[in-house]
Amino acid sequence: MRKIILITLAILMFASSAFAGKNYTISITQIVEHPSLDAMRNGFLDRLKEKGVDVTANVHIAQGNAATNVQIVSQMRGENPDLILAIATPGAQAAAQKIKDCPILFTGVTDPVSAGLVHDLKNTHGRNITGMSDFSPMDKHVALIKEVVPSAQSVGVIYNAGEPNSVALVQKLREEILKSHLKLEEATIANSSGVYQAAKSLVGKTDVIYIPTDNTAISALESAIKVCRQNKLPLIVGDVDSVERGAIAAVAVDYYKMGLQTGDMAYKILVEGIQPADMPIEFLNDLNLHINKTAAASMGITLPDDLIKRASKVIQ
């Protein structure tokens, strides 16, 4: 079993408020390290710091290992936290199954209902858990694919069929692909080491590769980028952080902003005493378009001028 990475962050802040002098322990579980998940964690902690909350945060990274993900729950229980933050679906599911006596807040969970975390998005039968969903606007993603590659007849998708959030996303992708009269080729993976072979398997079968907000695939994004560059095969992604790493484009939520909003939810629980059962699932609705001109050129694509003008960030 891989060793759990445990990072202890002490964030000491002083505020002339009713909760000054109280230190809150927050246990954080994160399935894997990659920029989007890290951005949510950083935004979460930054928001609590802005609000003057004194926090000791114990951060556990499972490194994509399912057994480690479950073991982390026991580690967190021993920390006697005031709040558990679960970043992404696997950690949220493990925490929800084992911990019933501590508030659990999740973020970056695509479909909390199908993941079994809540009964509905209003959390009308709430327990000790609530949080934020990052369900991708798949209609906009397919529209982006068609705009970047107007001649595309088929789209290849790489995802981990063992990730509930990815299954939900790909189901929605199938629906949108059907509406757009495109063909979909699916390449599933079980771990990050399979991303390279999955991308190679799509060469010659598809006109563009799409990677959704799949933690396993994104953690090994560079493997897909390598294949796409070698074969002049455009790569579109579901998160903006991956664009800076070398994908062509994405229209998605800003995960740092999602972390900030999740921090606001934590404040309500810790300081205002609101119970998770009384808090509906929240969303971040403002979307950002990021494009990477260098990546586009390396994959044989000339981006439309109108797309470049609309982008909130252009990487040269």
Q: How far apart are CA 141 and CA 40, in angstroms?
A: 21
- Closest alpha carbon to 26 in 75, 106, 80, 67: 80
**CA triple 11-242-87, angle to 5 deg:** 40
**Is residue 202 a contact partner of residue 228, using CB atoms and an 8 Å limit?**
no
Per DSSP, the three-state class of 71 is: helix
Q: How far apart are CA 5 and CA 75, in angstroms?
A: 11
Protein fold of 5-134+254-283: Rossmann fold (3.40.50)
> Reading across the β-sheet that carries 23-30, which strands appear in turn?
5-11, 54-61, 23-30, 83-87, 104-109, 129-133, 282-283
The domain 138-252+288-315 is placed in CATH, from the list 3.40.50.2300, 3.20.20.80, 3.90.1150.10, 3.30.2130.30, at 3.40.50.2300
CB atoms within 10 A of CB 204: 8
pLDDT digits (tens, 9 = 90+) for 227-255: 999 999 999 999 999 999 999 999 988 89
The better pLDDT of the pair 88, 2 is held by 88
Q: Using alpha carbons, list the distances in angstroms from residue 233 to 27, 217, 300.
A: 41, 17, 7
Q: Which of 19-28, 56-65, 106-115, 121-130 has the lowest mean pLDDT?
A: 19-28
**Is residue 58 a contact partner of residue 23, using CB atoms and an 8 Å limit?**
no
Mean pLDDT of 285-310: 94
Give the list of residues 6+ apart from residue 51 with CB closer than 8 angstroms, or none. 15, 263, 267, 271
Whole-model pTM?
Answer: 0.75
Is the pLDDT at 141 greater than 70, yes or no? yes
- Domain range list for the chain: 5-134+254-283, 138-252+288-315
Reported as a pLDDT band with limits 50, 70 and 90, residue 136 is: confident
